[in-house]
Amino acid sequence: MQQFQFDPSSPEYKSLDAYGLIGDSRTAVLVGADGAIDWACLPDFDSPSVFGALLDPGAGAFAVRPAEPFTATQRYERGTNVLVTEFTTAGGTMRLRDYMPYSNRKIPTAEIYRRIEGVRGVMNVEVLFAPRFGYGAHPPELEHSRYGVRATGESDGAAGHTIVLSTEIPMHIENGNERRAVGRARIHAGEETYVVADWGARRAHPIDSYQCDRRLWQTRTFWRSWVDRLTYHGRYRDTVERSLLTLKLLTYEPTGAIVAAPTTSLPEWIGGQRNWDYRYSWVRDSAFILRALFNARYMEEGTAYFDWLLSQALEGSPIQVMYGIRGEREMPERTLDHLRGHRDSRPVRVGNGAAHQHQLDIYGSLLDAALRYDRQGGLLTVTEWEKLEALANEIHQHWQEPDMGIWEVRSEPQHFTYSKVWAWVGLTRAAQLADQLGADSPTEDWKQEAESIRSEVLEKGWSDNAGAFTQAYDSDALDAAVMVMPTVGFLPASDERFQSTLSACTDALGAPEAPLLYRYLVAEEEADAPHSEDGVGGREGAFLLPSFWMVEAMGLSGDLSGARATLATLMEHMNPLGLYAEEVHPETDELLGNFPQGFSHLGQLNAIFRLEELKRQQEGW
């Protein structure tokens, strides 16, 4: 368990190592090891932040911490998303237990419960309540009452937003430039008290009216009952539990949508401009998500997500790359120039301009997900099949066009090898699904066209100079995404061309610390090697997802022990709570990119389940 040390001279920004995540099925909140909630978009994932110090120290925070230098450790209660932070000072020890009650509310509200527990000695505790509405743009009006503090203000042009703090700790309002409320108390061993931040309330209430311990019991019961449904009991059980619990925290329960991450604009390189908003649901993720959830036997969550995704596709408009958590099709990208950005990395973006890009692989992703859905007992209606059939026909008609690829480049469209592989997946899965459903569909045309795609990829996607399948046709630049070829059935892992590709990617894209990989090379990383022009520029960290694809490829190649060793090394790049970011700094191991990142956890889950499957096949059971 990693120990963090804090004092008044601690840096303004914490590393992502020092954060845990709690949530309530509508949003998720980052809690630092110093007791500060530095990121909370309330009441939903895509709402403007109310506590946004993650992106600017002046953008709002909600802290409960010792009022003197301290060390801290964090852990989750077993089988739950209840986060425990333990503080130690010269005078004593205190625990802070953070949670959000998990329920599928129809009313947009959010409650953050923080239980303060004296463990040893005496501790002076400070409570800091400094909300900032509209991504930190609007300081609140604060009003004191006998039960706590009410903060009101505007956000994105709308007035009347309110969040209240209910507590027994006396609070003092500082209405100067900082506009915050501060409270202090002495907590002795054996004592406990609560502070509750409530987005839905209009005024502070007696803390007993929140029935805090009952809520904690219900929250624990929910999470442990949910985890107990997991049928996997292999060597990585604890890790699988944490990844699934994290994935559940990224689920917007009112619709079933799953966001890529609960944050925006955490940089992929400190000081760089690769800062994107990930609080949306990507169609591409569907194949990976359903594979992970169904392998873990979480059928209800898998079908809810697929049903939601398919409902977006049924609207009649062309399917698009990503959707908002309620099915929104528009998410205009803009910059928040008033924010410094995480560790002064700008721009800070909200919205995502890639939403309307042409990305060929999303069709295959959805058709692959549909096949998994059907095979796990999901029932597709005739209307749903008509839409899926139309997607297959879209592939049939347009697969020869260039696109923007999996990495959503902002340069010119290209013939990306990964995209073509997934076009093959889409037509292959559509034909299989049509046969299973007994549908009157042009399956022979799809199969023939799939074979044409395969032949073209084998010819044009291969580079003799690189000795590998490359990122795009007529290019020698490598791309770790092509390592999915054996996992989707495009080529057997034993194929000499794939083995050569695997070796080339490992050598050329390998970061200084193996087995980390760059997804592709940009000019700043290796000037002499063929690199990619993605229209963004600037360095980035090593991308975790391709490393998990490499684990699967190694296992499928027959190297199970090597795959396990690689997986074990990748597990060292989780933070102390078992959470992954999107990327890792190749020299310092610092976590980079939006956090926690669903794609990284999905990659880990699917790699683990693949190794388990291969082990069973090897042992004949």
Query: DSSP letters of 539-585?
Result: ---EEHHHHHHHHHHHHHTT-HHHHHHHHHHHHTTS-TTS---SEE-
List residues bridging with 416 in a β-sheet.
472
pLDDT at 130: 96
Contact 176, 157 (CB under 8 A): no
The tokens 């999470």 sit on which residue? Answer: 223
- CATH dotted code for 237-619: 1.50.10.10
Burial letters for 390-419: b for 16+ Cβ neighbours within 10 Å, e otherwise? ebbbbbbeebeeebbbbbbbeeebbbbbbb
Residue 62 above 70 pLDDT? yes
Which of 98-112, 189-203, 517-531, 535-549 is the most confident on average?
189-203
Nearest partner of 182 among 41, 65, 11, 84, judged by Cα: 65
The Cα–Cα gap between 378 and 302 comes to 10
Distance between CA atoms of residues 183 and 33, nearest Å: 19
Parallel, antiparallel or unpaired: strands 462-463 and 28-32: unpaired
Token digits for 7?
Answer: 């004092």
Given a contact cutoff of 8 angstroms between Cβ atoms, the answer to whether 65 and 38 are in contact is no
pLDDT tens-place string over residues 411-464: 899 999 999 999 999 999 999 999 999 999 999 999 999 999 999 999 999 999
- Measure the CA angle with vertex 30, ends 25 and 34; round to 5°: 145
Question: Which one-letter amino acid corresponds to residue 508?
Answer: A
Backbone angles phi, psi at 28, to 5 degrees: -140, 150
For residues 144 and 181, give the distance between their C-alpha atoms in angstroms, rounded to a whole number: 9
Structure token pair of residue 109:
């509200």
User: Could you give the percent of the chain with pLDDT greater than 90?
Assistant: 79
DSSP 168-180: SS-EEEE-SSS-E
Per-residue pLDDT tens for 333-357?
A: 999 999 999 999 999 999 999 988 8
Judging by DSSP bridges, how do beta strands 111-130 and 141-145 pair with one another?
unpaired
CA dist., res. 219 & res. 230, Å (int): 18
Binned at pLDDT 50, 70 and 90, residue 378 comes out as confident
User: Residue for token digits 């006396």?
Assistant: 170
Number of Cβ within 10 Å of residue 492's Cβ equals 12
Which H or E run includes 36? Answer: strand 36-41
SS3 state at 617: helix
Position with higher pLDDT, 109 vs 571: 571
pLDDT computed for residue 104 by the predictor = 62
Residues 6+ apart with CB under 8 A from 517: 480, 505, 506, 509, 510, 511, 542, 543, 546, 547, 550
Beta-strand ranges (E) seen in 132-258 are 141-145, 148-155, 158-167, 171-174, 180-188, 192-198, 251-252, 257-258
Q: For residue 41, what are the β-bridge partners?
A: 49
Q: Which fold has domain 4-225?
A: Beta-galactosidase; Chain A, domain 5 (2.70.98)
105: pLDDT confidence band, cut at 50, 70 and 90?
low
- State residue 512's pLDDT score: 79
240-296 pLDDT, tens digit per residue, is 999 999 999 999 999 999 999 999 999 999 999 999 999 999 998 888 998 999 989
Please check whether residue 501 is in contact with residue 558, taking contact to mean a CB–CB distance below 8 angstroms. no
DSSP H or E stretch at residue 76:
strand 70-76
Distance CA 303, CA 253 (A): 12
Query: Which two three-digit tokens encode residue 250?
Result: 């990224």
Instruction: Indicate the pTM of the whole model.
Output: 0.95
Could you give the 3-state DSSP secondary structure of residue 405? Answer: coil
Q: Where in the chain is the domain with CATH 1.50.10.10?
A: 237-619
pLDDT per residue over 292-330, tens digit each?
999 898 988 998 898 898 888 777 778 899 999 999 999
pLDDT band at 532 (very low <50, low <70, confident <90, very high): confident
d(CA 200, CA 22) in angstroms, rounded, equals 18
CB atoms within 10 A of CB 420: 25
Q: Measured between alpha carbons, how far is 16 from 343 in angstroms, rounded to an integer?
A: 11
pLDDT tens sequence across 518-529: 999 886 555 566
Written as one letter, the residue type at 491 is: L
For residue 136, what pLDDT is reported? Answer: 93
The amino acid at 384: E
- Rg (alpha carbons) of the chain, rounded to whole number: 25
Among the listed residues 400, 406, 554, the one whose alpha carbon sits nearest the alpha carbon of residue 471: 406
Contact by Cβ (8 Å): 426, 392? yes
pLDDT (0 to 100) of residue 179: 87
Q: How far apart are CA 211 and CA 261, in angstroms?
A: 31
Model confidence at 158: pLDDT above 90: no
CA dist., res. 34 & res. 395, Å (int) = 51
